[in-house]
């Protein structure tokens, strides 16, 4: 459910919503959501000073009942 919520949230921010991919992984520290977007949308998802990324993390943590990390993958490198 969280992965779908993040995909929907980010899909409404970016210019290329079809390129948004969210994969969920379980690890000993909790759930990890890896987000990949079109390289042209990375700056939009991170936001100035990371504000947008932090807001996304806050919303995800509020929706969840356990520890969740959200990593925005930079595929440009």
Report whether pLDDT(77) > 70: no
CATH of region 1-74: 3.30.300.20
Which DSSP string do the residues of 28-75 spell out, in sequence order? TTEEEEEEE--GGGHHHHH-GGGHHHHHHHHHHHHH-SS-EEEEEE-T
Mean per-residue pLDDT of the chain: 92
Q: In this predicted model, what pLDDT tens digit does every residue of 33-54 receive, in sequence order?
A: 999 999 999 999 999 999 999 9
Confidence of residue 27 (pLDDT cuts 50, 70, 90): confident
The confidence score (pLDDT) of residue 76 equals 62
Percent of the chain with pLDDT over 70: 96
């Amino acid at each position: 459910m969280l992965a779908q919520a993040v995909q929907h949230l980010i899909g409404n921010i970016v210019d290329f919503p079809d390129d948004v991919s969210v994969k969920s992984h379980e690890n000993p520290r909790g759930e990890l959501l890896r987000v990949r977007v079109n390289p042209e949308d990375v700056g939009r998802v991170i936001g100035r000073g990371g504000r947008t990324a932090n807001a996304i993390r806050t919303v995800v943590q509020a929706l969840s009942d356990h520890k969740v990390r959200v990593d925005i993958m930079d595929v440009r490198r």
